[in-house]
Homo-oligomer: A and B are copies of this chain.
């Protein structure tokens, strides 16, 4: 028995359970130079929605009737591969299967004694590195600047805000419930928060909380929220476009106010960030994040759902904002 989740239909609009299919197979037998892995933790992320569309992007689209993959932590059950032993834990891009074999390429050994295993999918994984490298490489924050983060209670956003504080910025977070806004301030140390669902005029709300304007905008959301922030940017503002969860499920091309004039008026920069381009900087980034974590300067939130069968629902719930911080499925 080895359950696998495949993409059965390409979602139209918001993904549904019926877009996914569970199939059953044999537990694989690792050959020479291979290891057998048992899935421990599965990361579900908004960007996976983009891979469900059959279009050119920075990662190839998922194929229909094939397993989906994402960041995962797994345990080595059998090893015919030097450097990996039974009982080791690894992280990497793996398929949504209970068991799978691997030749070890692209896998990283992770140490459960140094941090909880789930952290290697979050603050010490792609999530944390996206926050750190997006903010520092594109944003280049300066002490005293004002940073606005959208999707601030999400996995990336909550880390971005904390790094902003560590680097001396005033940080304002935008999230979708009062509880999340409260958490931004009490748990993650943001200076202020905005509940976009109860805010009528985002432009005015940002203006009120950012009397000196916005120097940095780390955008995980896009859409109307971005319009409100852009109306308040300062000269030389940097806009890190990390994701657009608000439009991932749109069926037609989303429209909005054109940004050209705002960019020219403010000599502002808007750049798409994709973690894959920064691989040479991963070790430094991970080291910095681990240090901050150890020093207690960085904390993180996780929403952990249990059970392999819950993976598709956990993914769907991202678009309802049901997660606080990183959404992870524990097997």
Evaluate contact between B274 and A271: CB separation under 8 angstroms. Answer: no
Nearest neighbor of A223 in chain B, beta-carbon distance: B258
Closest-CB distance, A258 to chain B (whole angstroms): 5
Find A256's partner among B244, B256, B263, B266 (CB 8 Å cutoff): B256
Contact partners of A274 in chain B: CB under 8 A: 264, 267
A259 at interface, CB cutoff 8 A:
yes
A242–B272 alpha-carbon span in the complex (Å): 19
Evaluate contact between B264 and A241: CB separation under 8 angstroms. Answer: yes
Contact partners of A259 in chain B: CB under 8 A: 259, 270
Evaluate contact between B256 and A258: CB separation under 8 angstroms. Answer: yes
A243–B242 alpha-carbon span in the complex (Å): 25
Closest-CB distance, A214 to chain B (whole angstroms): 14
Residues of chain A in range 139-173 having any CB-CB distance to chain B below 8 Å:
none
Evaluate contact between A271 and B272: CB separation under 8 angstroms. Answer: no
The contact string, 1 if C-beta is below 8 Å from chain B, for chain A 190-215, is 00000000000000000000000000
Evaluate contact between A264 and B243: CB separation under 8 angstroms. Answer: yes
A316 at interface, CB cutoff 8 A:
no
Q: Please, how many residues of chain A have a CB less than 8 angstroms from a CB on the other chain?
A: 38
A254 at interface, CB cutoff 8 A:
yes
Evaluate contact between B277 and A272: CB separation under 8 angstroms. Answer: no
Contact partners of A57 in chain B: CB under 8 A: 265
Evaluate contact between A264 and B255: CB separation under 8 angstroms. Answer: no
A39 at interface, CB cutoff 8 A:
no
Evaluate contact between B242 and A247: CB separation under 8 angstroms. Answer: no
Evaluate contact between B58 and A267: CB separation under 8 angstroms. Answer: yes
Nearest neighbor of A55 in chain B, beta-carbon distance: B265
Nearest neighbor of A242 in chain B, beta-carbon distance: B264
Evaluate contact between B261 and A247: CB separation under 8 angstroms. Answer: yes
A235 at interface, CB cutoff 8 A:
yes
Evaluate contact between B219 and A260: CB separation under 8 angstroms. Answer: yes
A273 at interface, CB cutoff 8 A:
yes
Contact partners of A280 in chain B: CB under 8 A: none
**Can you add 7 more A-B contacts, CB < 8 Å, to A58-B265, A219-B260, A270-B270?**
A58-B267, A254-B258, A255-B256, A255-B258, A265-B272, A267-B274, A271-B271
A-B pairs with the 9 shortest C-beta distances?
Answer: A263-B272, A264-B272, A269-B271, A222-B260, A256-B258, A244-B260, A57-B265, A267-B274, A270-B270
Would you mind naming 19 contact pairs between A and B with Cβ atoms under 8 Å apart? A50-B265, A56-B265, A57-B265, A58-B265, A58-B266, A219-B260, A222-B258, A241-B260, A244-B264, A255-B255, A255-B256, A259-B270, A263-B271, A263-B272, A264-B274, A265-B272, A266-B272, A267-B272, A269-B271
